[in-house]
Structure 1
Amino acid sequence: MRRALAVLAAVPLILFAAACGSDDGSTTGATTGGSSGLKVAGNVGAKPTVTFPAGSPATKSSYEVIQPGSGPAVKSGDRLVVNLTVYNWDGKGNAVQGSSYDTKTPETIPVDAQLPQVLQEGFTKVKHGGRLLAVLANDSVAPGQQTNPSEPTKVFVLDVVGTRPAPLKAATGKETGESLKGVKVVSPGGEKAPTLTTKTDEKPGKELVVKTLIEGTGPKVTANQTLTVHYTGKIWGSDKQFDSSWERGEPAEFPLNGVIQGWQQGLAGVPVGSRVVMSIPPDLGYGSQEQNGIPANSTLVFVVDVLAAS
Structure 2
Amino acid sequence: MKNLVWGFLCLILFYGCKKESGCGYNEHNIVAPLSEQQLVKDYLTSINVYAASKDSSGFYYEVLQDGEGDSPNLCSQIELSYTGKLTSGNVFEQKNAAFTLGSSIEGLRKGIPIISKGGRIKLYIPPTLAYGSREVKDDAGKVIIPANSILIFDIQLTAFY
In the superposition, the TM-score normalised over structure 2's length comes to: 0.61
Output one character per residue of 1:95-153: Cα deviation in whole Å (capped at 9) or x when no partner.
xxxxxxx7588xxxxxxxxxxxxxxxxxxxxxxxxxxxxxxxxxxxxxxxxxxxxxxxx
Q: Give the secondary structure class of the aligned counterpart of 2:136.
A: coil
- Counterpart of 1:239? 89
- Counterpart of 1:229? 80
Pair 1:294-2:137 in alignment: no
CA contact (8 A) 1:222 1:269 kept: no
TM-fit CA distance, 1:223: 2.0
- Counterpart of 2:109? 264
Q: Give the secondary structure class of the aligned counterpart of 1:218.
A: coil
TM-fit CA distance, 1:207: 2.0
Runs of 4 or more, structure 1, over 6 Å off, are none
Question: How many percent of aligned residue pairs carry the same amino acid?
Answer: 29
CA contact (8 A) 1:216 1:271 kept: yes
- Counterpart of 1:254? 99
User: Equivalent residues in 2 for 1:102-117 (5 A)?
Assistant: 103=21
In the superposition, the TM-score normalised over structure 1's length comes to: 0.33
- Counterpart of 2:27? none
Aligned partner of 1:305 among 149, 156, 159: 156
CA distance in 2, matches of 1:272, 1:252: 14
Structure 2 runs not aligned, ≥5 long: 1-19, 24-40, 138-143
Q: Give the secondary structure class of the aligned counterpart of 1:216.
A: coil
CA distance in 1, matches of 2:61, 2:160: 19
CA distance in 2, matches of 1:181, 1:254: 32
User: Equivalent residues in 2 for 1:184-223 (5 A)?
Assistant: 200=47, 207-223=58-74
Q: Which amino acid aligns with 2:76?
A: Q
Output one character per residue of 1:202-249: Cα deviation in whole Å (capped at 9) or x when no partner.
9xx99201210112113212221010000000001x10100000xxxx
CA distance in 1, matches of 2:71, 2:77: 12
Instruction: Call closer, same or farther: CA 1:181–1:215 in 2, change over 3 Å.
Output: farther
Q: Give the secondary structure class of the aligned counterpart of 1:257.
A: helix
CA distance in 2, matches of 1:181, 1:220: 30
CA distance in 1, matches of 2:64, 2:42: 13
TM-fit CA distance, 1:181: 8.7
CA distance in 2, matches of 1:104, 1:284: 23
Report which structure shows greater RCO (CA 8 Å, sep ≥6). 2
CA distance in 1, matches of 2:59, 2:77: 22
- Counterpart of 2:124? 279
Output one character per residue of 1:175-213: Cα deviation in whole Å (capped at 9) or x when no partner.
xxxxx9966xxxxxxxxxxxxxxx9499xx992012101
Instruction: Call closer, same or farther: CA 1:104–1:297 in 2, change over 3 Å.
Output: closer
Structure 1 runs not aligned, ≥5 long: 1-101, 106-179, 184-198, 246-250
CA contact (8 A) 1:218 1:273 kept: no
